[in-house]
């Protein structure tokens, strides 16, 4: 009887391990698919920006060069055209530099998240016309680069969502550090996230088009979590990351769409 019982326990354990292996394999496959999708979306965004902005500047520069050539052939005054060419060339250089910095700002590597966040938020306010209130911790100690990069990308995507979808004319950004936690919060005064989208988020369904899957994956890789509270008065998104990280892509950390009470409780803890 004892041998049979031990045999059954062994078979059950083996079956559980096989089931766990299948689950983890499927989770990794889904993660890989999401990462590829996010890469494609980022590439489309870069291509669109280069075409719509820098491409138009270079087209204007080409026309100015053609006009310069025409004036030289006819011995006409070229001073104004040369001025236009210089201005357009400088504009194209600035646009390329801005695109490069948005992809990966040098400040993030050289100084850290705080300086990069200040630079990005100031630029966002200027480009969008949205008033941005910034409250950053005075702590200058660097965090692991993986955490700084993840928080910076979440800040970028959150502000992009505020600009595209919220209709808010102001946004508040705060970043605080504790002994073992880093908390980034972005809060707007816009129209809020539609209820059907919130429901899909609660059910764990993909929420394409607003960047939330990418934020979720970044937090999951760092054993962190996202908390989202949204109603008719606006949306608040919080990224909470443990500073002592043991990465676990298959872990249970994930996206939490907080209720009013959960949001208040999390605020007290942070």
**Tens digits of pLDDT across the chain (270 residues):** 555 455 555 566 788 888 888 888 888 888 777 777 777 777 787 888 788 888 889 989 999 999 999 999 898 999 899 999 999 999 988 888 888 877 888 889 999 999 999 999 999 999 899 999 999 988 778 999 999 999 999 999 999 899 989 999 999 999 999 888 999 999 999 999 888 887 776 555 555 544 777 788 889 889 999 999 999 999 999 999 999 744 444 444 444 443 333 333 334 443
Is residue 107 included in any domain, yes or no? no
- Strand-pair partners of 132: 171
Do 93 and 147 reside in the same domain of the chain?
no
> Are 159 and 263 in a shared domain?
yes
Q: Write out the DSSP string of 75-90.
A: T---HHHHHHHHHHHH
The beta-carbon contacts of 18-22 under 8 Å, at least 24 apart in sequence, are none
Alpha-carbon distance of 90 to 240, in angstroms, equals: 41
Residue 172: which CATH number?
3.30.565.10
Final residue in a domain of this structure, among 100, 130, 163? 100
Residue 105: inside a domain: no
Instruction: Report yes or no on 166 lying in a domain.
Output: yes
Domain residues for the domain of 213 are: 112-269
Spatial distance between the Cα atoms of 165 and 18, rounded to a whole number of angstroms: 44
pTM score above 0.85: no
Number of compact structural domains in the chain? 2
Which tokens sit at 204?
């764990």
Q: Give me Rg for the CA atoms of the chain.
A: 25
Q: What 3-state class would DSSP assign to 216?
A: helix
Residue 255 within any structural domain of the chain:
yes
- Residue ending a domain, choose from 100, 121, 140: 100
Structural domain includes residue 45: yes
Same domain, 79 and 151: no
Does residue 89 fall inside a structural domain? yes
The answer to whether 192 and 233 have CB atoms below 8 angstroms apart is yes
* 54 and 122 share one domain: no
* 142 and 256 assigned to the same domain: yes
What is the spatial distance between Cα 66 and Cα 86, in angstroms, rounded to a whole number?
Answer: 14
Are 150 and 215 found together in one domain?
A: yes
Do 131 and 175 fall within a single domain? yes
Within 8 A by CB and 6+ apart from 8, the residues are none
Class of residue 31 by CB neighbours under 10 A (exposed 0-12, middle 13-18, buried 19+): middle
Distance CA 155, CA 149 (A): 10
CB-CB contact of 54 with 89 (8 Å) = no
Q: Is 181 a domain residue?
A: yes
Q: Is residue 148 part of a domain?
A: yes
């Amino acid at each position: 009887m004892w041998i049979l019982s031990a045999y059954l326990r062994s078979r059950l354990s083996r079956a559980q391990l096989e089931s766990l292996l299948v689950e983890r394999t499927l989770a990794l496959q889904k993660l890989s698919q999401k990462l590829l999708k996010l890469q494609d979306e980022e590439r489309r965004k870069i291509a669109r920006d280069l075409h719509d902005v820098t491409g138009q500047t270079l087209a204007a520069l080409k026309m100015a060069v053609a006009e310069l050539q025409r004036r030289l052939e006819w011995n006409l005054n070229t001073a104004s055209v040369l001025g236009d060419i210089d201005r357009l060339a400088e504009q194209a250089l600035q646009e390329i530099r801005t695109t490069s910095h948005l992809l990966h700002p040098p400040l993030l590597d050289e100084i850290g998240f705080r300086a990069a966040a200040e630079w990005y938020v100031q630029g966002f306010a200027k480009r969008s016309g949205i008033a941005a209130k910034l409250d950053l911790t005075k702590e200058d100690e660097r965090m692991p680069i993986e955490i700084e990069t993840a928080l910076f990308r979440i800040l970028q995507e959150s502000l992009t969502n505020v600009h595209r979808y919220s209709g808010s004319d102001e946004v508040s950004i705060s970043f605080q550090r504790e002994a073992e936690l880093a908390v980034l919060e972005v809060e707007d005064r816009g129209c809020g996230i539609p209820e059907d989208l919130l429901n899909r988020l609660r059910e764990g369904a993909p929420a394409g088009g607003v960047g939330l899957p990418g934020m979720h994956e970044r937090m999951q890789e760092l054993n962190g979590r996202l908390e989202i509270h949204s109603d008719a008065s606006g949306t608040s998104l919080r990224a909470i990351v443990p500073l002592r990280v043991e990465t676990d892509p298959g872990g249970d950390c994930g996206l939490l769409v907080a209720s009013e009470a959960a949001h208040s409780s999390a605020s007290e803890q942070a």
